[in-house]
């Protein structure tokens, strides 16, 4: 297994057995996630901003308006922290104290760089689109030069990163297992609901297969 270096900043101190620095584990979580939260500091003020992302190899891609304060700040190379969280279940214990969640999460530390070269930028935007909804990109109008200009795309190395994963049933105090209280796991996941056509959709346009079959 390809292990990322365990730095002082990415060594898990609380419940380290739930941690992992395996690239494959980290990649799987990133590929399943939908949004990340980007943490950064401007003039001493921390911000944590939610945004879309995609993984391309060993790099994380984010994008947005050229006017975005977050992207303008990040492209100067300031320190950033990106987290991705997947919730798999609520874990219902016999005591209030031992309630938990089953989750998979990743924390990445690093600095972003600007993707400016046209083809590389288009490839990154394609990756973002494919990450959200595979098959969409080739059907829609491609970005114009003006739209490309208005879009900032940044890339952050996935080099200093860790994963943390909780699975399984509640872990109660031994005495509490005799209690007359239901305990167990309530699995949950994000699902696609019924498709709602745009009110301005031209008549006769079928819902694409990749939308019908979308699993989320
Ligand atoms: C699910 C999701 C996906 C998104 N995907 C993208 C994306 O791919 N690209 C992109 O550019 N943006 C995305 N956004 C929007 C993003 O969160 C920011 O609002 C946007 O990037 C502007 O950032 P900024 O630093 O310029 O915001 P500014 O407007 O400069 O932020 C000023 C203040 O506004 C408030 N603020 C800003 N954003 C939010 C927010 N999302 N929620 C609550 N308060 C906020 C905060 O108090 C912040 O300090 C997404 C948001 C969500 C929730």
pLDDT tens per residue, range 176-189: 999 999 999 999 99
Ligand 1 mean position to 100 CA, how many Å?
A: 29
- For 68-93, write each residue's pLDDT tens digit: 999 999 999 999 999 999 999 999 99
- Confirm whether 200 is domain-assigned: no
> What local confidence, expressed as pLDDT, does residue 183 receive?
98
Report the CATH number that the domain containing residue 51 is assigned in CATH: 2.30.110.10
**CA pair distance 34, 44, nearest whole angstrom:** 29
Residue (of 40, 62, 44) closest to 53 by Cα position: 62
In this structure, the residue with its CA closest to atom 20 of ligand 1 is 68
Give rounded-to-5 percent helix, strand, coil for the chain: 25, 35, 40
**CA pair distance 25, 84, nearest whole angstrom:** 13
Q: Contact at 8 Å (CB) between 179 and 34?
A: no
- Confirm whether 152 is domain-assigned: yes
> What local confidence, expressed as pLDDT, does residue 172 receive?
98
Q: Which domain holds residue 70?
A: 16-189
Ligand 1 mean position to 47 CA, how many Å?
A: 10
Ligand 1 mean position to 175 CA, how many Å?
A: 47
> What local confidence, expressed as pLDDT, does residue 68 receive?
97
- For 3-31, write each residue's pLDDT tens digit: 998 899 888 888 888 888 999 999 999 99
- Confirm whether 69 is domain-assigned: yes
Q: Going by C-beta distance under 8 Å and a sequence separation of 6 or more, which residues neighbour residue 34? A: 52, 132, 190
- Split into its structural domains, the chain has a count of 1
**CA pair distance 153, 59, nearest whole angstrom:** 12
Ligand 1 mean position to 36 CA, how many Å?
A: 11
> What local confidence, expressed as pLDDT, does residue 13 receive?
83
Query: Binning pLDDT at 50, 70 and 90, where does residue 52 land?
Result: very high
**What phi and psi, each to the nearest 5 degrees, are found at residue 105?**
-140, 160
**Strands, E, within the chain: which ranges?**
19-20, 35-42, 45-52, 54-56, 59-65, 79-92, 100-111, 113-114, 151-157, 160-166, 184-187
Tell me the three state secondary structure of residue 66: coil
In this structure, the residue with its CA closest to atom 13 of ligand 1 is 51
- Confirm whether 210 is domain-assigned: no
Query: What Rg, from alpha-carbon coordinates, does the chain have?
Result: 21
- Confirm whether 67 is domain-assigned: yes
> What local confidence, expressed as pLDDT, does residue 1 receive?
65
- Confirm whether 179 is domain-assigned: yes
Atom of ligand 1 nearest to the CA of 49: 17
- For 108-161, write each residue's pLDDT tens digit: 999 999 999 999 999 999 999 999 999 999 999 999 999 999 999 999 999 999
- Confirm whether 195 is domain-assigned: no
Whole-prediction pTM: 0.92
- Confirm whether 85 is domain-assigned: yes
Q: Which two tokens stand for residue 147?
A: 């739209």
In this structure, the residue with its CA closest to atom 11 of ligand 1 is 64
Residues with CB under 6 A from ligand 1: 35, 47, 49-52, 63-65, 68-70
């Amino acid at each position: 297994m390809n292990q990322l270096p365990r730095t002082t900043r990415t060594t898990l101190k609380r419940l380290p057995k739930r941690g992992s620095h395996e690239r494959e584990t980290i990649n799987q979580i990133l590929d399943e996630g939908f949004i990340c939260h980007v943490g950064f500091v401007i003039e001493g003020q921390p911000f944590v901003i939610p945004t879309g992302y995609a993984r391309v190899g060993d790099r994380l891609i984010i994008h947005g308006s050229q006017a975005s304060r977050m992207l303008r700040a990040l492209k100067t190379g300031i320190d950033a922290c990106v987290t991705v969280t997947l919730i798999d279940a609520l874990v219902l214990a016999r005591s209030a104290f031992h309630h938990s969640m089953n989750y998979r999460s990743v924390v990445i530390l690093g600095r972003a760089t600007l993707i400016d070269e046209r083809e590389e930028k288009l490839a990154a935007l394609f990756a973002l689109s494919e990450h959200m909804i595979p098959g969409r990109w080739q059907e829609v109008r491609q970005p114009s030069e003006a739209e490309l200009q208005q879009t900032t795309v940044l890339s952050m190395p996935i080099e200093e990163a860790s994963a943390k994963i909780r699975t399984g049933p509640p872990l109660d105090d031994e005495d509490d297992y005799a209690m007359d209280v239901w305990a167990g796991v309530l699995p949950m996941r994000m699902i696609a609901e019924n498709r709602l056509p745009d009110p301005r959709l031209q008549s006769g346009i079928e819902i694409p297969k990749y939308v019908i079959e979308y699993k989320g």
